[in-house]
Structure 1
Amino acid sequence: MIFNKGELFCGPGGLSLGAKMAEVIAPDGEVFRVQHKWANDYDPDACRTFRHNICPSDPDSVIEGDVRLIDIESLPKIDAFSFGFPCNDYSNVGEKKGINGDFGPLYTYGVKVLNAHKPLWFVVENVGGLESANEGETFIKILSDLEQTGYNLTPHLYKFHEYGVPQARQRIIIVGIRKDLGLEFKIPAPTHGVDSYITSKQALEDPPIPKDALNNELTKHQNKVVEMLSFIPPGENAWYEGLPEHLRLNVKKTKISQIYKRLDPNKPAYTVTGSGGGGTHMYHYNYPRALTNRERARLQTFPDNYEFLGGKEAVRKQIGMAVPPMGAKVIVEAILKTFAGIEYEHVDSKWTFDQREDSIIFTKNKVKEESVGYLI
C-alpha cells in the first residue's frame, strides 16, 4: 500500500525524507510505504532544497508561498499528511506568545487540509514548549481542533536522543488516525538508553566527513573568539570559570547556556537550532571553531549526499529548523506497522485522552523524566 503524502511547512524536507526511508512489509508480503505528493513552504531556499532532494523529477509539486494564500480545496488527493507549523511562538527560546503570536494560528491551515481531504493519517510536529504556551490552553485548543476533524490522536513528547538521533532534541509529535478505520497508533518504544545514546563524536567521526563534502565550509572567526574557545573545555560554555579575565563576556542579564558552548564528545549534542549569531553557532569539541553546516546536518541525521541550497546562513537556518529524518522514520514506520497489522514494542503517552459529551479532556500523567543535561 502506498500512502501519497502532502505536507505544509515542509522546510528542507527532513520529515519527508524520514517518511520516504520508512518501509514495512506485512505478513502477507504487502509493502507499506510513503511517497511525496505535494508540499508547501514560504521559504524559497527551503523549497529549492526540498525539490532538489525529495522530488527532483516533479519540482512543481512544491508550492512556494504563504500558506494563507493556498487554495486548499484544489490540492491533489492525499492519503497521508504532515505539518510542522512554525514554532516561533511556542519555543522556550523566545517570547512565547503562543496562539496570540503571528505564527501561532498557522496550525489552523493544517486543520483545513484535514477537513477538506480526510487523509487516512497525519503527523504534526512542534517544539516541547507548545505544551505550556498560554498556560497550556493553546495545546488543548490545538488537540481539540484536530480531534474534531475526525481523528483519534496520540500526542507524545519524543526525546529524539532515545531513538538514535545524536542530539538532545525534544519535540511534541501528534499522530492522528481517522476514526472510521478502527486502528490504534501506539508510541514506539525508545531504541537507545543512557548507555547507548549516539554521541556527537560518533556522529561526526564515524565515518569521517570528507573534506569535499557538501555544505562543509568553515566559519571565519575573530582571533579573540578562537582564543576564547581554546580555553573552554568540551561541554562547557562562555561562562566557564577558567576563562582569563580579558576573554570573559560582559553580560549582566540572563546567561544563555548555548553561548560559545562546545560539544561534549561523550554525549549527544545539544539542540541544533537555526540561529548562529552572538556565539550560538554550536562549537566543536576538538577544534576552536564553529561546526560546519555539514556537521550540523550530521547531528540532524541528514545523509552526506543531501545538499542544502542557498547561502551559508540560509542553509544553517534550514538545518536547524528541520525534523531529524531518523526521528521521523521511527514514527512513520510505527504508523505503517499499525496499518499493516504488525505488533511492535511501545510505551504509554504522558497524556490521557478522554472524550466527553461536550468537551475533550487531555490529562497529563506523571512519567519518569530523564535528561542528558541540556534539552530545550
Structure 2
Amino acid sequence: MILKYLDLFAGIGGFRQALINSSLKNVKFEPIGYCEIEKKCQLVYNEIFGTDGEVIVDDVKKIFSPDMVNVDGSKKLPEFDLLLGGFPCQPFSNVGYRKGLEDPRGELFFEIVRILRHYKPSFFILENVSKISSVSSGDALKTIISELEEAGYNVHLWDLYADHYGLPQKRRRLFFCGVLREYSIGNELLLEPQPIPREEWKYPTTWHLLEKEMNPRHLIPTKTRETVLRPNPKWMGNLQIDRPIARPITASMSKWHRANQDNYFSATYVSPNNPNPYISPIVDMEKEPIRRITPLEGFRIQGFPDIYAEICEVHKISFSATYKMIGNAVPVNLATSVIDHFLANYLK
C-alpha cells in the first residue's frame, strides 16, 4: 500500500531518512512535500532526497495562505495519510527559556493542529524534548495532548532514549503518535518499541564511528580548552560513564575519550576489544590536544548517512551551521523504531 506523507519542520530530513530505513515491507512511503524555514537545511534536504515535483513551504503558517490555492480553487498541497514533524523544541528545552506554548515558536504547534483538523491524515508522529512534560507544571503537555485529541485522534505518548535504539548517544525524546479514531482498534494502549540489541547496531560504541584521520582545523583553541577541562561539581556524583555514550573530544580519537554528558564525567582509555566499559583514567588531559567531534561523526551519532557530511562540505556550509542542523535533527534510528512499531499496529 502507498502511504503519502507531509514532513513538517523537516530540518535535514531525519524523519524522511527514517522512512527510507523502515522495515515495513508492505508499505511504500510517498512524499507530497515538506516545510522548513532554514535555507541551508532546505539545500541539504533537496540535494539528499531530490524533491522535484513536491510542494515546498518555508513557513508552516503559509500552508493556508492564498498562495497555496490554485487558480481553479484546488489546494496546492494534496491530501496525505501521515503527518510527521519535530516541532520547535527550544520553547520546551533546558537550553531555551522554557516559555512553552507562550513562546512564538511554541505557538507553531497550533499550526500542526490546524493542519490535522483540515486534512485529517490517518496518522501523525510528532517529536519533541522530554522536558516538555514539566513546562508550566505539566500544563503545556496537557494542552498539547488535549488539542490533538480534540482534533479527532487517539494519542500515544512514548518517552524514549536514542541509546536503546541503535545509536551510541543518550538522547531522550518524547514522541506523540496519533491515529484517527475511526482507524483506531479500540481503547488500545500501545507499548513502546522494544530496544534494539547492541550487536545489531551499525556503530555499537562511539569508538566505531570515529574518523581515523583528524583535520587540524577541528582542534579547539587554548581558551576553549580551559573551559572544557574546568572541573564542574555537577559531574562528580558519578565518576563512571557507559562507554557507548561517551562524548569523545581528544585529538587521538580512536584511543582516548572524555565525556561530559548528562551529569557524568570520565577520562578513559577505550579499546574496542576491551570488554570492560569502565577503565581508570590514565590520559594526561593537560598535554593531549583536544578537538570537537567532526561533522561526519556528528551525523553518524544521529544515524544519518555519511553523504550528509559530504554535501555540507561541498556547499561550504560552516561548522556552526552544520552542528546546528545535526543538533536539531530527530535521531534517525530512534524515529525508524517508532514509525515501524506504531504503524505496524494498523497497517496489516
TM-score, normalisation: structure 2 = 0.74
1:136 is displaced (CA, Å) by 0.8
The corresponding residue for 2:278 is none
Q: Any conservation in 1 of the 2:166–2:196 contact (CA below 8 Å)?
A: yes
Which structure has more RCO (C-alpha within 8 Å, separation ≥ 6)?
1
C-alpha distance in 2 between matches for 1:34 and 1:41: 19
1:192 is displaced (CA, Å) by 4.6
1:313 is displaced (CA, Å) by 1.3
Worse-superposed segment, 175-184 or 127-136: 175-184
The corresponding residue for 2:14 is 14
Residues 134/228 of structure 1: CA separation in 2 closer, same or farther (3 Å cut): closer
Q: Any conservation in 1 of the 2:206–2:245 contact (CA below 8 Å)?
A: no
Worse-superposed segment, 67-76 or 159-168: 67-76
For structure 2, list consecutive stretches of 5 or more residues without a partner in the other structure.
66-74, 248-258, 270-288
Tell me the amino acid that sits aligned with residue 170 of structure 1: R
C-alpha distance in 2 between matches for 1:319 and 1:217: 21
Residues 71/2 of structure 1: CA separation in 2 closer, same or farther (3 Å cut): same
Q: Any conservation in 2 of the 1:165–1:198 contact (CA below 8 Å)?
A: no
The corresponding residue for 1:61 is 55
The corresponding residue for 1:268 is 245
Tell me the amino acid that sits aligned with residue 268 of structure 1: I
How well do the aligned residues superpose, as a CA RMSD in angstroms? Answer: 3.3
C-alpha distance in 1 between matches for 2:40 and 2:144: 29
The corresponding residue for 2:184 is 182
| 1:102 match: secondary structure | coil
Tell me the amino acid that sits aligned with residue 221 of structure 2: Q
1:60 is displaced (CA, Å) by 4.8
Write out per-residue CA displacement over residues 329-365 of structure 1, whole angstroms, 9 at most, x where no aligned residue. Answer: 1011113311233xxxxxxxxxxxxxxxxxxxxxxxx
Residue correspondence of structure 1 range 259-298 to structure 2 within 5 A: 266-269=243-246, 288-298=290-300
Write out per-residue CA displacement over residues 264-302 of structure 1, whole angstroms, 9 at most, x where no aligned residue. Answer: 6713146xxxxxxxxx99999776211111111111111
1:121 is displaced (CA, Å) by 0.4
Write out per-residue CA displacement over residues 57-101 of structure 1, whole angstroms, 9 at most, x where no aligned residue. Answer: 5275332x2222332764221110011111111002232111111
The corresponding residue for 1:222 is 221
The corresponding residue for 2:152 is 150
Residues 181/192 of structure 1: CA separation in 2 closer, same or farther (3 Å cut): closer
| 2:345 match: secondary structure | helix
Which of 163, 167, 177 matches 2:165? 163
Q: Any conservation in 2 of the 1:127–1:171 contact (CA below 8 Å)?
A: yes
Size of the alignment, in residue pairs? Answer: 295
Determine what percentage of the aligned residue pairs are the same residue: 25
Q: Any conservation in 2 of the 1:83–1:124 contact (CA below 8 Å)?
A: yes
Tell me the amino acid that sits aligned with residue 134 of structure 2: S
C-alpha distance in 2 between matches for 1:100 and 1:207: 40
Residues 198/285 of structure 1: CA separation in 2 closer, same or farther (3 Å cut): farther
The corresponding residue for 1:335 is 342
Please state which structure has a larger fraction of its residues in helix. Answer: 2
TM-score, normalisation: structure 1 = 0.69
